[in-house]
Homo-oligomer: A and B are copies of this chain.
Amino acid sequence: MVLDSDLMDLKTPSLLLDAPRLQKNLQFMGQKLAAADIDLQPHMKTAKSVPIARMATEGHSGAITVSTVKEAEEFAKAGFSKITYAVGLAPHKLGRIAALLQRFPNLTLCLLVDNPGAIAAAAEAGQIFNRTFPLFLEIDSGAQRGGLRSDDPKLLGLAQQIARTQHVSLAGVLTHAGQSYAARNRQELLQIADQERLSAFGAAGLIRGLGLSCPAVSIGSTPTLWAAESFTGATEARPGVYMFMDVFQAQLGCCQIEDIALSVLATVIGRYEKPARLLIDAGALALSQDRSTALQARHPGRLDYGLGMVCDLHGQPFPDLLVAQAHQEHGFIVSRTPETTALPAWPIGYRVRIFPIHACMTAAAYQDYIMIENGAVTGTLPRFNGW
């Protein structure tokens, strides 16, 4: 029996995090990677929460991944001593990074580069601050975001530049197969997972072939790690959204709806006809404006959930409803079958939970997670935002 009286007392919108689901998601990934002898270095860009980072690193080395210098600072303060800052380095950030290292001398902070200027800047900062910066070379394994293709001759040039330059060292190669988000089925995910791993492993092999040390081969998006059947050649992995999951990941096949741990608690504030709609007090800020499932809906069997999947307080979805649009503080719940009668007869004040389309975006509007277990509130966990 679910106790939902707690959920009736919370302010709305609030960000709920289902503790057992979080645990289950953490365990699945933690155990799968541990079994493959891959160090899970969870990407904290999604959760941005120290206690969650502690949970997520259990059974692994304790190393984590971050997307901003702010995250590096916050997690270093909390005692994390090995952090990879996995966004291409802007040289001016080295001053702040050096200050962090000065404050935490035992911190190993790996940086990401894919061009000679960033390496030179890191070396220069290393000289000034008397530090050696460990650098990952970014490999583009098909995502077409940052990095070099593993067969790009410039890659070896960069490895050699690092090898002959003081105050920098090669930590390894790192890639993120973001194209996994466009996969249509598990078979495609499996292919992309292989492509991701083999690109990085291949790049490491070319570098090692020069007689250079390339210790780490870092891979990982949540979908490719979920699908992967082989990890040969990889040494570490950096998934992030797997902790919370979301509607997009569920439709990609990487989890069930019942695994989505994050939701936004909202209240019905209006009910209207022509066009038939229910207004809730969770809008574009509370849910984010991520519409990733609109792209998924081009594939058979996947639906556009707009800005969120509508569920009851027990987390049971109403399959016919979606948050079709939003203004800043208003969300519009509509039916897929656009008839007034298809909308449930919820009164003003009725509460719903909205499963996020993209958990990383939705969570970013909040300062804390309200932890729930079987519908009861068990506490809060802090998160931070900003740069």
Contacts and interface: CB of A to CB of B under 8 A. Distances in A.
Interface of A: 8, 11-14, 45, 67-69, 87-93, 96, 114-115, 117-118, 121, 140, 144-146, 178, 267-272, 274-275, 277, 279, 281, 284-286, 288-291, 327-330, 332, 347-349, 360-361, 364-367, 385-387
A360 B90 contact: no
29 contacts: A11-B92, A11-B93, A12-B90, A88-B281, A88-B330, A90-B269, A90-B281, A90-B348, A91-B349, A92-B267, A92-B349, A115-B270, A117-B347, A144-B275, A145-B279, A145-B330, A146-B272, A146-B330, A178-B327, A284-B290, A285-B361, A285-B364, A286-B387, A289-B289, A289-B291, A289-B361, A328-B361, A364-B365, A365-B386
Contact of A330 (B87, B92, B270, B365): B87
A290 B272 CA distance: 26
Contacts of A364: 285, 365
Given A12-B90, A327-B178, A289 B286 contact: no
A329 B146 contact: no
Contact of A329 (B45, B268, B291): B45
A178 B67 CA distance: 36
A74 to B, nearest CB: 14
A348 B115 contact: yes
Contacts of A12: 90, 92, 387
Contacts of A361: 284-285, 289, 328
How many chain copies?
Answer: 2
Contacts of A291: 289
A288 B286 contact: no
Contacts of A14: 387
B68 A117 contact: no
A73 B264 CA distance: 22
Contacts of A349: 90-92, 117, 121
Pairs of residues from A and B, 10 with the lowest C-beta to C-beta distance, nearest first: A88-B269, A90-B267, A289-B289, A67-B329, A146-B270, A117-B348, A88-B270, A90-B269, A91-B349, A87-B329
Nearest to A366: B386
